[in-house]
Amino acid sequence: MQLVTTNTDLEKALGRLDTTTPLALDTEFMREDTFFPILCLVQVCAGDALFCVDALALERRAALANLYNGADAGVILHSAHQDLELFLQETGELPAKLFDTQIAAAMTGFDAQISYAQLVQELLGVQLDKSQTRTDWRRRPLSEAQLAYALDDVRYLAEIQPLLAEQLDARGRSDWHAQECERILQPETYTTDPATAWRRLKGCGQLDPETRARARLLAAWRETEASERDRPRQWIIRDRLLVELARQRPTSRSELGNVDGLPESVTRRYGEALIALLAEPIDPRLLAECAMDATEPLTREQRVLAKALRACLTRCAAENEISAGLLANRMDIERLVRGAREVSVLQGWRRKVVGDQFLELLER
């Protein structure tokens, strides 16, 4: 086992890689007490090459882009979204070509959220060691057991990839898989816009338009504050309290103190900013947008239509031996019955599988 700890050693390791072989990658990171994930380790497997890169030790992390810039055959990742977010954060670049084994598995009859360990056991009959699951990957030195555990996450990726690729080809779904991988290789997928942070707030859709508008402003403020301080959103103010602040709209520190559950530390640190934000007049355009975005309960007719769509989804998923969750979810169906048509299930390969049948039901 090799642990690469310097940029010079990384260059040497890259020079020995076979660029015609797909490059299996994985990452270990920590995000318990930060807004942005901390990249700690990158695991690499290509042909006979198998090593870890200590990302914390590198002087120039942007050099990690050289891992996949030279990978002519593309990279292999399992559930790639978080790994790609890290690579983009550290290097400003994304791979040009991707094979996501979780997506491929979901398209060939496995559960949409199947884990790497489950997939390795299903396809290769190998049971992976779980003893290092709770490792703090920021701590150094790393033990041999930790490195062995980390390397197992890429050791078998290169073995299961051709098996899944063969199944995709046999089912005529290689193009489906390519479409999904292309979508998650778009940099805008990983852009955080504070103006859309309100979508994370549970119950926001049930608020009246003015309260919803204030909740959206509070969520945008928290997103900016959390990113600037590099702290988890919930460490700034919890979701429930953001919604409660929007409802009560306190105008003084004493009124802030009456918000049930609001920590005194929040009042001390952010009290003036919160009071000022809640006192600002709402932009009429935002208010109008919130009025249009209201989430009223489904009508009886909409509930009946949603039930028909769910039955159609279940049937199409079974007929195609594909996870229903990969095709559409509850939110997609609710948006469709409310009149939305810019929904992923009506686009690309999903439209052929179930989207056209959805449209027939919706247009009756």
Do 304 and 342 sit in the same domain of this protein? Answer: yes
Residues 172 and 131 in one domain: yes
> Could you read off the pLDDT of 79-110 as tens digits, one per residue?
999 999 999 999 999 999 999 999 999 999 99
Cβ-contact 52, 103 below 8 angstroms:
no
* Beta strand 49-54 pairing with 98-100: unpaired
pLDDT of residue 295: 65
Mark which of 162, 190, 218 sits at the end of a domain.
190
Over residues 232-257, mean pLDDT = 95
Average pLDDT over residues 49-69: 94
116 and 153 in a single domain? The answer is yes
Which of 50-54, 135-139, 203-207 has the lowest average pLDDT?
Answer: 203-207
Q: Torsion angle of alpha carbons 94, 98, 102, 103, nearest 10°?
A: 110
Summary mean pLDDT of the chain: 93
What is the number of structural domains in the chain?
A: 3
CATH number at residue 268: 1.10.150.80
Q: Check whether 12 has a pLDDT greater than 70.
A: yes
- Domain end among 171, 190, 209: 190
Cβ atoms of 214 and 282 closer than 8 Å: yes
pLDDT value for 293 = 65
Dump pLDDT digits (tens) for 14-54: 998 888 889 999 999 999 999 999 999 999 999 889 999 99
263 and 154 part of one domain: no
Domain residues for 217? 194-292
Last residue of a domain, one of 134, 162, 190: 190
What are 283-331's pLDDT values in tens digits?
999 988 887 666 678 899 999 999 999 999 999 999 999 989 999 999 8
DSSP code per residue over 13-40: HHHTS-TTS-EEEEEEEE-SS-SS-EEE
Q: Provide the β-strand partners of residue 39.
A: 29
What is the mean predicted confidence (pLDDT) over 264-268? 94
CA 340 vs CA 18, 152, 213: distances in Å: 47, 44, 21
Highest mean pLDDT among 126-135, 141-150, 202-211: 141-150
Whole-number pLDDT of residue 216: 94
Pair (339, 255) in one structural domain: no
Query: Looking at the structure, do residues 215 and 277 belong to the same domain, yes or no?
Result: yes
Q: List pLDDT tens digits, range 159-195.
A: 999 999 999 999 999 999 999 999 999 999 888 889 9
- 81 and 142 share one domain: yes
How many other C-beta atoms can be found within 10 angstroms of the C-beta atom of residue 156?
23
pLDDT at 201: 86
Residue that wins the pLDDT comparison between 291 and 144: 144
Strand order in the sheet with 75-77: 2-4, 49-54, 38-46, 23-30, 75-77, 98-100
CA atoms of 356 and 336, how far apart (whole Å)? 13
* Residue 1: per-residue pLDDT: 59
Residue 240 clears pLDDT 70, i.e. is over it? yes
Do 217 and 257 share a domain, yes or no?
yes
CB of 98 closer than 8 Å to CB of 179: no
* Same-domain check for residues 105 and 155: yes
pLDDT of residue 319: 94
Calpha distance 313→190 (Å, rounded):
29
Tell me whether residue 215 is exposed, middle or buried, using C-beta atoms within 10 angstroms of its C-beta: 0 to 12, 13 to 18, 19 or more.
Answer: buried
Pair 136, 239 in one domain: no
* CATH classification at residue 47: 3.30.420.10
Q: Which residue in this structure is represented by tokens 């779904």?
A: 173
Percent of the chain predicted with pLDDT > 70: 99
**What is the pLDDT, as a whole number, of residue 134?**
81
| Cis previous bond, 194, omega within 30 | no
Task: Clarify whether residues 225 and 308 are in a common domain.
Answer: no
Exposure of 256 in the CB half-sphere (CA atoms within 13 A): 22
**Residue 344 pLDDT > 70:** yes
CA dihedral 344, 345, 348, 354 (to 10 degrees): 180
pLDDT range class, residue 131, cuts 50, 70, 90: confident
CA angle 166, 69, 151 (to 5 degrees): 65
Rounded percentage of the chain residues whose pLDDT exceeds 90: 80
Claim to verify: residue 232 and residue 326 sit in the same structural domain: no
CA-angle at 140, arms to 136 and 142, nearest 5° = 80
CA–CA gap between residue 36 and residue 214 (Å, rounded): 26
